[in-house]
Amino acid sequence: MKIGVYPGSFDPITNGHLDVITRASHIVDELIVGVLQNPQKKPLFSVEERIEMLKVTTSHLPNVKIEAFSGLLIDFVKQHNAILIVRGLRAITDFEYELQMAQTNYNLDPTIETVFLATNVQYSFLSSSVVKELAQFGGHIENFVPPIVAECVWEKFKQF
Ligand code: PNS
């Protein structure tokens, strides 16, 4: 059984993430979406909220599981007997960081490969940060995140 891990912050999940999850779920038997819990970062959504949004928006994909992780990604990957890490590549600006991460992880364990999926061009500008910035100033986010996520973002910004 070929298990892959798609790691990220997902604060919150965007349509770009969902596109990568859907496509990656077709190339592995099981895809584990690893949601980073990093005490040094202050995300908009708690890890529980991010997991819930991911679960709801991927519920139609039977081979996708959502789990939190902290610490090193490579340890999380090994704990789940996964053999590959999936990352989306949006543009050349992503490349340097992604290459460094892939090479570091390869160095830590050469039995685990990182595979990049070229982001669908319609999402090449899209990130969770863009969604949060738009929402902060009342911009339209409904084309960029699933409807349930848009609701959660607006709900969150009402609290500030
Ligand atoms: O969605 P993001 O924020 O671009 O995801 C980044 C993530 C979670 C994949 C990356 O920060 C990560 O793997 N963090 C875990 C710590 C780790 O393993 N670092 C070593 C690899 S450079």
160 residues of the chain, pLDDT tens digit each: 999 999 999 999 999 999 999 999 999 999 999 999 988 889 999 999 999 999 999 999 999 999 999 999 999 999 999 999 999 999 888 999 999 999 999 999 999 999 999 999 999 999 999 999 999 999 999 999 999 999 999 999 987 7
Catalytic residue list contains 140: no
Is 30 part of any domain? yes
Asked whether residue 119 is assigned to any structural domain, the reply reads yes
What strand order describes the sheet that includes 113-118? 64-69, 30-36, 3-8, 84-89, 113-118
Tokens standing for residue 111 = 């039995």
139: in domain: no
Q: What is the DSSP string of 41-53?
A: S--SS-HHHHHHH
The CA-atom distances, in angstroms, between 41 and each of 91, 97, 121, 138 are 24, 18, 29, 24
**How many domains, the chain?**
1
pTM above 0.95, yes or no: yes
Whether residue 38 has its Cβ less than 6 Å from ligand 1: no
Atom of ligand 1 nearest to the CA of 128: 1
41 within a domain of the structure (yes/no): yes
Radius of gyration over alpha carbons of the chain, in Å?
A: 15
Domain annotation covers residue 42 = yes
In a domain, 9, yes or no: yes
Residue 75 belongs to a domain: yes
Q: Is residue 87 part of a domain?
A: yes
Domain that holds residue 86: 3-124
As given in the structure block, the two tokens for residue 60 are 């139609």
CATH number assigned to the domain comprising residue 111: 3.40.50.620
Give the residue, out of 17, 36, 132, with the most ligand 1 atoms within 8 A of its beta carbon, to mutate for a pocket test: 36
Query: Helix, strand or coil for residue 89?
Result: strand
| C-alpha to C-alpha distance for 157 and 30, rounded to whole angstroms | 34
152's tokens: 């959660």
